[in-house]
């Protein structure tokens, strides 16, 4: 296919403002090539850059990326430290470029259990990029939906909010995603059809898109395909269709 055809994406009638991505399949990608699992995670980081560029190109405003879950601590120690080191590397080497491109980096999840230097580096990056407005990239690192809800409930109780004053809005305002709209679309790569503790509260009315493509291979065209599928979905938010 010529570059011209490859770069042509018909405009879509509707775009999700916020896309959540479960970046799954790095391990399988590496195994298929006879490489160690960390090589798959490295390829996953490279793809992350491609998808951030694609999100800006297509006009998505917010992406939330599931990079390390509260359950991922159960993986072998060397994979856990390998993933921490990868994040350190991204924060050291890639942030200047992301900042220049107008990306606002945020973090969701429990920072407290992360090594002090990583926590400090995340906080510095969030502070540095906080006024950027081209794309919000929310990195879910040591994130679990249940853990987030538990922390929110604890904060609400600690503030002494009376039971009858607790509403959807109060809970949402105490989550790590406070102030952001809920995801419209959640993409999961590599074929598994579950949420795996990702954005449990926020996903209430998200459209779900699963592809068998492994994360390192999920490029711009595959991302466009997910956006196209979203544009064709009918969202009812629990109500009836106009035609019903």
Could you say whether residue 44 binds ligand FPP (CB under 6 A)? Answer: yes
The Cα 206–Cα 222 span in angstroms is 19
Judged by CB under 6 A, does residue 90 bind ligand FPP?
A: yes
Question: Judged by CB under 6 A, does residue 25 bind ligand FPP?
Answer: yes
Q: Which is nearer to ligand FPP, 41 or 106 (CB)?
A: 41
Stretch that binds ligand FPP, among 6-14, 40-48, 174-182, 229-237 (CB under 6 A): 40-48
**Contact predicate 103/133, CB 8 Å:** no
Please report how close the Cβ of residue 218 comes to ligand FPP at its closest, in angstroms. 10
Q: Contact between 27 and ligand FPP (CB under 6 A)?
A: yes
- Select the residue interacting with ligand FPP from 16, 18, 38, 41 (CB under 6 A): 41
Do the beta carbons of residue 148 and residue 109 sit within 8 Å? yes
| Least distance in angstroms from the C-beta of 41 to ligand FPP | 5
Instruction: Report DSSP state, residue 10.
Output: P
Report d(CA 142, CA 67) in Å as an integer: 8
Q: How far apart are CA 189 and CA 211, in angstroms?
A: 5
User: Which residues within the stretch 196-215 sit at the binding site for ligand FPP (CB under 6 A)?
Assistant: 215
Q: CA separation (Å) from 17 to 55, 60, 206?
A: 10, 5, 11
H/E stretch holding 88: helix 77-93
Using the rule CB under 6 A, is 23 a contact of ligand FPP?
yes
- Between 87 and 213, name the residue whose CB sits nearer to ligand FPP: 87
Among 26, 70, 142, 211, binds ligand FPP (CB under 6 A): 26
Binding segment (CB under 6 A) for ligand FPP, from list 18-26, 104-112, 119-127, 232-240: 18-26
Judged by CB, which is closer to ligand FPP: 86, or 173?
86
Of the candidates 39, 53, 58, 72, which one interacts with ligand FPP according to CB under 6 A?
A: 72
The set of residues, in sequence order, having a beta carbon less than 8 Å from that of 116 and lying 6+ positions away, is none
- By CB under 6 A, residue 108 contacts ligand FPP: no
Contact set for ligand FPP, span 115-134 (CB under 6 A)? none
Strand pairing partners for 21?
65, 187
DSSP secondary structure letter of residue 226: H
Q: Contacts with ligand FPP in 132-191 (CB under 6 A)?
A: 139, 190
- Catalytic-residue membership of 72: yes
Helix 77-93 to helix 116-128 angle (10° resolution) is 30
Q: Please, are residues 206 and 180 in contact by the beta-carbon 8 Å criterion?
A: no
With contacts defined by CB under 6 A, name the span among 12-20, 86-94, 106-114, 123-131 that binds ligand FPP: 86-94
Comparing C-alpha atoms, which of 229, 181, 182 is closest to residue 208?
Answer: 229
Active site residues: 24, 72
């Amino acid at each position: 296919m010529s570059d011209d055809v490859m770069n042509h994406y018909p405009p879509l009638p509707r775009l999700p403002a916020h896309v959540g991505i479960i970046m799954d399949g790095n391990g399988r990608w590496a195994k298929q090539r006879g490489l160690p699992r960390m090589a798959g995670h490295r390829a996953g980081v490279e793809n992350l850059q491609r998808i951030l560029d694609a999100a800006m190109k297509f006009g998505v405003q917010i992406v939330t990326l599931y990079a390390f879950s509260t359950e991922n601590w159960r993986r072998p120690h060397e994979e856990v430290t390998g993933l921490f080191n990868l994040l350190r590397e991204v924060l050291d080497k890639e942030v200047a470029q992301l900042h220049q491109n107008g990306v606002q980096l945020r973090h969701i999840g429990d920072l407290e259990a992360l090594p002090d230097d990583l926590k400090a580096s995340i906080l510095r990056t969030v502070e540095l990029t906080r006024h950027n407005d081209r794309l919000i990239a929310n990195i879910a690192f040591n994130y679990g939906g249940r853990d987030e809800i538990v922390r929110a409930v604890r904060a609400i109780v600690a503030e002494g909010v009376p039971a009858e004053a607790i509403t959807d809005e109060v809970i949402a305002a105490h989550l790590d995603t406070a102030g952001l709209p809920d995801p419209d679309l959640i993409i999961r790569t590599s074929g598994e059809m579950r949420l795996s503790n990702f954005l449990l509260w926020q996903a209430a009315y998200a459209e779900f898109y699963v592809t068998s493509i492994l994360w390192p291979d999920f490029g711009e065209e595959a991302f466009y395909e997910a956006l196209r599928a979203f544009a064709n979905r009918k969202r009812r938010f629990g109500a009836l269709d106009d035609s019903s």
